[in-house]
Amino acid sequence: MPDINIKLPDGGEKRAPEGATVLDVATAIGPRLAQAALAGRIDGELVDVDTVVTDGATVEVITDRAPEALHILRHSAAHVMAEAIKTLYPEANFGVGPAIEDGFYYDFCIDKSLVPEDLAAIEERMEQIIAEERHFERGELTKLEAWDVFEGDPFKQELIDEIPEGETISIYSEGAFTDLCRGPHIPHTGHIGAFKLMKLAGAYWRGDSTRPMLQRIYGTAWFTQKELDAYLERLDQAEKRDHRKLGKELDLFSLHEEAGAGLPIYHPKGARVLRIIEEWLREELYRRGYEEVITPHIYKADVWKTSGHWDNYREHMYFFQVDEGEGKVNDYGIKPMNCPGHIMVFQNDVRSYRDLPMRLFEFGTVYRHELSGVVHGLMRARGFTQDDAHIFCTPEQVHAEVVAMLDLVEYVNGVFGFEYTAEVSTKPEKSMGSEEMWDLATKSLMGALDARDMPYEINEGEGAFYGPKIDINLRDAIGRTWQTATIQVDFNLPERFDITYRTAENTEARPFTLHRTILGSMERFLGILIEHYAGAFPVWLAPVQTVIIPIADRHLEHAESVRERLEAAGARVEVYAQNEPMRVKIAKAQEQKVPYMLVLGDKEAEADVVAVRERTEGDIGQMSLEEFLGKLAE
């Protein structure tokens, strides 16, 4: 049998007999690699380990260290769960069962409505299937053959109907379960080291509320029990840090069904935290050459027609009509974005290249029609405020402006203690603007990241149709990532609103427009901060920095004197004047996660000092008020 030539990812080459599989290639490289092989990649396409390689192909062996490995494992775990359901409930019909972030799910229809207690029997059956190390067998069928295989399963047959005629359909089988599937899968079920079924839910078939409601089971799967335990611990931490729970306990905000989904109401403490952040960032932006604007919450529909939102974003907006008198009625739209107002500021005068760059910012409240199913506390709201800015500049200024924005990103995230990563999304298949503009904009974004020594990933073709962008992803205290800052080049709005500036040669030119947010949605960022700090804000950000705890009523006068002096120095203070034991007041301050407690008794009143407790260290001794203010200032 003649040999074929195989290329390896490191540039090396390997000879293999004709008909060799990915697993054969792994074996030729080394027995340990063969034992660890979960899947393969042939010329960039993920495949099963028993896929035959062709002469000249580039072959990569996928092990549990590969980024794709967990996705493949979880996809396979979804099939194992489906087989367990099928054996327990033979009448089951199945929808779809993909791998998702941190796990998998499967939708199915059975006569019985499952309850959480039923998950234990499904898990037990899954454990048996995993212990048997059943192989995932791939097959290929014609459309007619596939229709026969899935006779009696209307959901699968609907999917088959949509496959173009003549296209080969792949299926995977293990044990009693067969599924439409592109693959790949792990070689056998035994590679699933640890799993857990997490919860039950309902899901409309294909997300359509007019279609049948299916049952859905969510699960997670990992290569080792240690990884599963660590994940469950992160979930436990996430539950304890849930901003909705802490927001209520710390009296920061509330959500009211009668007010509407996704419309948070801030209480004094929550409003204070938001204003502290805004005021701090506002001063920083002024220092960096930005100018603040305030724009309306509503515009005539004509504005949204010009911007393109009327045609392309209308389902996410709120529109209403206004009777202007004399029988004239106009459509108005509540703004989902702040861009048009900033462009109108630019349009309001003749601009020269000497006016550029023009940096306009706004803490602008916007409203978007999010589906009720995706609204989630502060993390995804229908009404939220963006720390929005638009920079109008010449093509030559783009690089320097993006570098300056990245410097701001670094400074802001450093203050809050976040680590972060960057992604660059490039030109999609459908786009506007010339190749030259895209090339300049994309190189400017990447060049700015390089200039700041900021590593980044490239998302090929994932930019918006109107320009490339940088997304910043934060990592919080328990390892979760959150997308916050965005730096976006926009070729669309300058064209639609026909904005220009006079060049040095006295000709008209179109400015580059850079959208940018640093925190993103203020609501979402507050939610992230609450969970990141577990509600224990740093001193500078705490809505109440200090509580004063008089031991007895006779100490109230001195407590008020201390409060006045602290507030005069800019501290945020409360006096716990209630007729309660000191230990109760201390426990209350601890529950409210107040950074400092000042206990005042006879000795403190006589010497005009304070006994200081810190929320994590406990008692840290007596000190004068001046000493304590110095500690706060640190």
Q: Quickly tell me which residue has 């149709």 as its tokens.
A: 465
The third-level CATH classification (topology) of the domain covering 253-297+335-532 is BirA Bifunctional Protein; domain 2 (3.30.930)
Q: For the domain with range 69-238, which CATH number is right: 3.10.520.10, 3.40.50.300, 3.30.980.10, 3.60.15.10?
A: 3.30.980.10
CB 613, CB 599: distance < 8 Å: yes
Q: Which long-range contacts (CB under 8 A, 24 or more apart) does 606-609 make?
A: 608/558
Q: Cα(214)–Cα(500) distance, rounded to whole angstroms?
A: 54
Burial 30-69 (b: 16+ CB within 10 A, else e): eeeebebbbbbbbeeebbbbbbebeeebebbbbbbebeeb
| pLDDT at position 110 | 94
CA-angle at 304, arms to 301 and 307, nearest 5°:
155
pLDDT (mean) for 87-111 = 94
Q: Using one digit for the tens of pLDDT, what is the confidence trace for 580-597?
A: 998 999 999 999 999 999
Q: Quickly tell me which residue has 């074996």 as its tokens.
A: 27
Residue 32 among the catalytic residues: no
Q: pLDDT at residue 433 above 80?
A: no
Number of H helices, E strands in the chain: 20, 33
Element containing residue 112 per DSSP (H, E): none
Q: Which of 48, 153, 387, 388 is catalytic?
A: 388
Q: Which of 41, 390, 524, 563 is catalytic?
A: 390
pLDDT (mean) for 423-447 = 88
The β-bridge relationship of strands 456-459 and 419-425 is parallel
pLDDT (mean) for 544-573 = 94
> Hey, where are the domains in the chain?
3-62, 69-238, 253-297+335-532, 546-633
Burial class (CB in 10 A: 0-12, 13-18, 19+), 145: middle
CB 305, CB 350: distance < 8 Å: no
Q: Using one digit for the tens of pLDDT, what is the confidence trace for 119-136?
A: 999 999 999 999 999 999
Q: Using one digit for the tens of pLDDT, what is the confidence trace for 394-423?
A: 999 999 999 999 999 999 999 999 999 999
3-state SS record for 575-623: ECCCCCCHHHHHHHHHHCCCCEEEEECHHHHHHCEEEEEECCCEEEEEE
Residue 618 neighbours by CB under 8 Å, 6+ apart: none
Q: Cα(480)–Cα(221) distance, rounded to whole angstroms?
A: 18
Q: Which of 515, 524, 572, 593 is catalytic?
A: 515
Residue 390 among the catalytic residues: yes
Q: pLDDT at residue 577 above 70?
A: yes
Residue 175 neighbours by CB under 8 Å, 6+ apart: 83, 87, 129, 132, 134
CB 129, CB 84: distance < 8 Å: yes
Closest of 320, 388, 397, 383 to residue 360, by C-alpha:
388
Which token pair is 585? 């007041």
CB 68, CB 17: distance < 8 Å: no
Q: Which CATH superfamily is domain 546-633 in?
A: Anticodon-binding domain (3.40.50.800)
CB 332, CB 319: distance < 8 Å: yes
pLDDT (mean) for 38-60 = 93
Closest of 276, 253, 274 to residue 263, by C-alpha:
253
Which token pair is 133? 């190390």
Q: pLDDT at residue 9 above 90?
A: no
Q: Cα(105)–Cα(203) distance, rounded to whole angstroms?
A: 11
Alpha carbon 138 to chain centroid, angstroms? 35
Q: Using one digit for the tens of pLDDT, what is the confidence trace for 515-534?
A: 999 999 999 999 999 999 99
Q: Cα(385)–Cα(346) distance, rounded to whole angstroms?
A: 22
Give the start-end residues of each E strand in 19-153. Answer: 39-42, 45-47, 59-62, 93-94, 99-100, 103-109, 137-141
| pLDDT at position 434 | 82
Residue 368 among the catalytic residues: yes
Closest of 120, 174, 172, 164 to residue 142, by C-alpha:
164
Element containing residue 517 per DSSP (H, E): strand 512-521
Question: What percentage of the chain exceeds 90 in pLDDT?
Answer: 81
**Most distant CA pair in the chain, distance:** 100
CB 488, CB 523: distance < 8 Å: no
Q: Which of 86, 215, 386, 387 is catalytic?
A: 386
Alpha carbon 142 to chain centroid, angstroms? 40
Residue 415 neighbours by CB under 8 Å, 6+ apart: none
Q: Which of 75, 185, 244, 368 is catalytic?
A: 368
- Write down the mean pLDDT value for the chain: 93
**69-238 and 546-633: same fold?**
no
Residue 443 among the catalytic residues: no
Going by the DSSP 8-state scheme, the letter that residue 554 receives in this structure is G
CA distances from 579 to 507, 584, 586 (A): 76, 10, 13
Residue 166 pLDDT class (50, 70, 90 cuts): confident
Q: What are phi and psi of 171, to 5 degrees?
A: -130, 160
| pLDDT at position 414 | 95
CA distances from 242 to 239, 271, 370, 528 (A): 5, 19, 21, 9
Q: pLDDT at residue 296 above 60?
A: yes
Which amino acid belongs to residue 625? L
Question: What percentage of the chain exceeds 70 in pLDDT?
Answer: 100
Which has more pLDDT, 531 or 10?
531
Which token pair is 118? 């039923």
Residue 64 pLDDT class (50, 70, 90 cuts): very high
Q: Quickly tell me which residue has 């919450």 as its tokens.
A: 297
Residue 386 among the catalytic residues: yes
Element containing residue 56 per DSSP (H, E): none
Residue 134 neighbours by CB under 8 Å, 6+ apart: 174, 175, 188, 189
Q: Which of 185, 339, 359, 555 is catalytic?
A: 339
Q: Cα(338)–Cα(516) distance, rounded to whole angstroms?
A: 11
Q: Using one digit for the tens of pLDDT, what is the confidence trace for 351-364?
A: 999 999 999 999 99
Closest of 574, 601, 606, 602 to residue 588, by C-alpha:
574
| pLDDT at position 1 | 52
Is the Cα dihedral 457, 461, 464, 468 positive or negative?
Answer: positive
Q: Which of 469, 516, 572, 613 is catalytic?
A: 469
Q: Cα(273)–Cα(270) distance, rounded to whole angstroms?
A: 5
The third-level CATH classification (topology) of the domain covering 3-62 is Ubiquitin-like (UB roll) (3.10.20)
Residue 173 pLDDT class (50, 70, 90 cuts): very high
pLDDT (mean) for 570-576 = 95
Q: pLDDT at residue 184 above 80?
A: yes
